[in-house]
Amino acid sequence: MFFNLLDASFSASTLAAMSVTLATQYSERPTVLVLHFLREELEDAEPQLYAELRKATSLMQARTTQAALEVLSHPARPQAVLVADASVTSPSQVALLDALVEYARDGGRVIFGVRFSSHFLYFPVSPFFRRFGMNWDRGRFCESTSSLNPDGLPRLLLQSTLPPKLSLRAQLLKDVHPEDAVYLSPTTPEADPLSLSAGHVADCFAAFAPLARGYVGYVGNVDGEPEVTPLLLEMLGAQNKEPVSGKKHVLVSNGAYLASESVDGCRAKGVNENPPTRPIVLVLRLTEDIPLSVTHNQLLNGLEKNARVYHVNDNATAMARLVVFPPPQAVIVSDATLTQSQNSVLVEELQGYARLGGRVLLGPYFGARLDRSRAASFFSKWSVPWTMGSNRYSTFALNPSGVPTPLSSEALFPTFNASAQCIKTSSPGEIIYGNVRTKPRNYNSQQHFEIARDEGAALWAPAKDF
């Protein structure tokens, strides 16, 4: 849905009510975040892995610590994180490492793979994995044939999706619990049993272990072999699997959002099967001099009471928020900077978000700062028949023919007095509030008024194919 609000002094409770009532259409594809901080363009080096990830998931990438923390701190976090290099082992990354541990404990999957094992010589392996509650340590580096665990795979992994053997160079783990081993390599005679915990295995190519409500995984190949792609996808929960017939499917929320999981499966994993009770609303402010906290304190307080509100001040963060699963229910664009050419990519992302069921609300300062020369071009991108109208102080009333669906007139004030930048439209049914043509001397605020049918202070239109 696409909503336009062009009045800086418009009722805060009206805007808050409109921004929290949409049932968003969620994507069924899981979201996977790839952490890769090295200069190498990983997608060029791992084309098959990235092709499969893009096919099966909503793929996000973080190339900086700040970007990674931004995604991990969001309540709608990804289903899984692929740590593709060993940058997180640096002493300077303590905050990110703590965030990954918390994310895994809260229901997410953290998988160490791709380039991660290539750097085992440069950091203390055992203390690192102990942060995740694992006894894992550096084992042999060798070329060998690893086979699937003959005693069965760890929980959640399906044997039918994986090759029975993998022959490649790898950095193996030792001191892995047998139940957590996915692929095992033949143990050499010189392996020291005294260096292992009782019953643990010495040569493990891939491991996958529970941590509180989540999971931690490791894949040890060092040369980027495409044969390992199914294993990474399986650990990330990104393999295409047909849902079990007859079972109810839900969206799962508890740090990791798992689409199309059965209720029984969710309970077995110890994951809460109920989605967040409060919708997520983004407030996009691309201009620093917008004093929202001063002029629209009532609006912000109303939003904070009814929704999870996140303030976004730049394009990169805004686009990252739009693809986090589940997406926000509404985006409030607080100023007209969005209409400038340097923001065209963000506009396209917002259009795609709106087509999938999101709400884009233009206000509260959007109309006040909208450049008339850009207005027609901007609105044409959204395929709405809108142009700049009059700028006036007047009494505005709800459309007597009814407000556009799915808005409810019961949630809105019948009239208000304000200065507003109106928008002209050739579709009267899109008008929410219109300028009152004539107002009786003695009038009841609940009565219907005749309004102008060619422009309004607030309009609403469905998203179209742009």
> What rounded mean pLDDT belongs to the chain?
79
Angstrom distances, CA of residue 455 to CA of 347, 391, 417 = 24, 11, 16
Residue 428's H or E segment, with its range, is none
In single-letter form, the type of residue at position 405 comes to T
pTM above 0.75, yes or no: no
- pLDDT given for residue 456 in this prediction: 93
Report whether 114 contacts 224 (CB < 8 A): yes
Cis peptide before 364 (omega within 30 of 0): yes
Strands (E), 175-277: 181-184, 204-211, 214-219, 249-250, 261-262
- pLDDT given for residue 240 in this prediction: 58
- pLDDT given for residue 213 in this prediction: 87
- pLDDT given for residue 444 in this prediction: 57
- pLDDT given for residue 269 in this prediction: 34
- pLDDT given for residue 242 in this prediction: 39
Q: How far apart are CA 316 and CA 59, in angstroms?
A: 15
185 Cβ contact list (under 8 Å, min separation 6): 140, 142, 144, 145, 146, 170, 172, 203, 204, 205
- pLDDT given for residue 43 in this prediction: 82
- pLDDT given for residue 41 in this prediction: 79
pLDDT < 50 stretches in the chain: 1-27, 189-198, 241-276
Q: Residue 90 carries which DSSP code?
A: S
Please state, as a whole number, how many other Cβ atoms lie within 10 Å of the Cβ of residue 345.
10
